[in-house]
Chain A
Amino acid sequence: MSLLNPFNKRPGLNTATILLVENEEQFQQSLANVLVEETAVTVNVRLAKTLPLPMKNDESRPRIDLVVFIINLTLDKSVKSAKASLKYLDPGYFLGKVCFMVTNARQALGCTGRLDAVRQLAVSLHCPLLFAEDQTPEGVTSSARRLLTILKVASGLVPNTTALYLSNLTRCAMPPDIDQPSFD
């Protein structure tokens, strides 16, 4: 019951719901403010610190179309909490309805181990990895715009495209110098 399922509720008319999961609860607020300004589609933004989501809201919560994990690369706890939350998602989400958004990649250039770990995670789960800049309003707007594009497809509002189709084009790939399992 604690698993979040993508298809056990009815979709809304011309509505898209996005869930932003962030341990620090900073960037998600500013992102949410920009996301709800979209006029063509009704965007519902749900904010959470970690999964599982509290049971008491389960009935009133709408169907969640896209789950975005916001990871701050300068904090180790952020990565760990995101990994722990992954367990509470139904596998149906990983067919294009999960996205990883990473902030402060420039500050974390010194310790590339964390970035590699997050990238490995995104590759193994076949999810897109987006880099976001959270300090300036332009950065917030541009990352919100990208999220909106993915959200519109994930909630089925774009004709002839589904989340699964898009995931094939946006999936993260490892740079070739790092060892990865080859199909021999």
Chain B
Amino acid sequence: MTLESRWVSQGDLEKLRRREIRYTVARHIVTLPLLRVLTSSEDPLKLRRFLTSSRWFDLLHMDASDNTGSLKEMVETVGQNGGPAAENCSALEGVLPAEMLRIKQQMSNQCFEMAVQLNAGKSKRSCSTSEAERELPNFVSELERVKGVHFNSTLVLHRLQMWHAIGEKMKQAGPDAAVLKTVSDRCMALCSQIKQLQIENRNLQNEITEIQKQRLEIKRLTHEKMKEMEGLMSSKEHPEKYNAVLEKGLANLEKYKKMTIVTQNVLRGILLACKVNWLDDPTLRETVMTLEEFPISE
């Protein structure tokens, strides 16, 4: 390889060894995300096409000795798309493993994004818009829930960071430490007081709610009783309903009274006319006595 011959001619074996280690590391960490992507995607779509057609795929099938030149080639092909190749050549010479790891993470992230796009295109089931609209609120609420969780976690994280910073500062035992300690003690005292007050508040609220419930119950009962009373009062003052019935009853009474009087008169007439001796017979005498109660009608 031309590259290796250049290094050997420099005569710096140490430098050569170091670089070889770096490039081996680079090769391994570059192929890892590619392997992951290739094993996860199934269809020969855009990503696969570009991966198989590019030099990156060749990188997977190389043997250990032939690494430096191919890496440079790969970077050059990528560099043609993204930036000047010459810059990458010189950049490789002074690059650190940390930098390599960062680039590896970036590439795995980009590959993940592309894999997501592929998978999204694959599982396309035919669903109507109304079905999608029905499912949309669930997804939106799930999204809102996750956003809320994320926000709360961020708050917790900030709180943790702040308390850690305060703790560190107090450990340093400088002039601020005493002030910080008093402030934090006061904070703690206030917090416990707040907790107590909140518990009391909750109990009082519960009691208030109970009393309100009872009051409502009593109000309801009073209302019912009032209605009953009103009904009775109205029936006493305005007996219109019963008037008709009453008159009918009175009319009936008059009728039967007249009938009885007429019958009694008839009986009296028969007794007189037939000259019956009603004084001796006790039952007959009683019947005649009752005849005297009703006055003789006109």
* Beta-carbon contacts under 8 Å, B254-291 to A: none
A169 and B147 contacting across the interface, CB-CB below 8 Å: yes
Contacts of A161 in B (CB 8 A): 109
Size of the chain B interface, CB-CB below 8 angstroms: 30
A8 and B46 contacting across the interface, CB-CB below 8 Å: yes
Contacts of A155 in B (CB 8 A): 110
Query: Residue A52 at the B interface, CB < 8 A?
Result: no
Task: Report the separation of the CA atoms of residues A158 and B109 in the bound assembly, to the nearest whole angstrom.
Answer: 8
Q: A182 — nearest CB in chain B belongs to which residue?
A: B137
Query: Residue A135 at the B interface, CB < 8 A?
Result: no
Contacts of A13 in B (CB 8 A): 75, 78-79, 82-83, 88, 103, 106-107
Q: A169 — nearest CB in chain B belongs to which residue?
A: B147
Task: Report the separation of the CA atoms of residues A7 and B111 in the bound assembly, to the nearest whole angstrom.
Answer: 11
Q: How large is the interface on A (under 10, 10 to 19, 20 to 34, 35 or more residues)?
A: 20 to 34
Looking at the complex, which one of A42, A92, A169, A183 makes contact with B83 (CB distance below 8 Å)?
A42
Q: How far in angstroms is the closest Cβ of chain B from A137?
A: 27
A159 and B105 contacting across the interface, CB-CB below 8 Å: yes
Contacts of B78 in A (CB 8 A): 10, 12-13
Query: Residue A168 at the B interface, CB < 8 A?
Result: yes
Query: Residue B112 at the A interface, CB < 8 A?
Result: yes
Contacts of B147 in A (CB 8 A): 168-169
**Chain A contacts to B: CB under 8 angstroms:** 7-15, 42, 44, 62-63, 92, 155-164, 168-169, 183
19 A-B interface contacts by CB (under 8 A): A8-B46, A10-B50, A10-B54, A10-B81, A13-B78, A13-B79, A13-B88, A13-B103, A13-B106, A13-B107, A14-B106, A62-B82, A92-B117, A156-B109, A162-B112, A162-B113, A164-B116, A169-B150, A183-B136
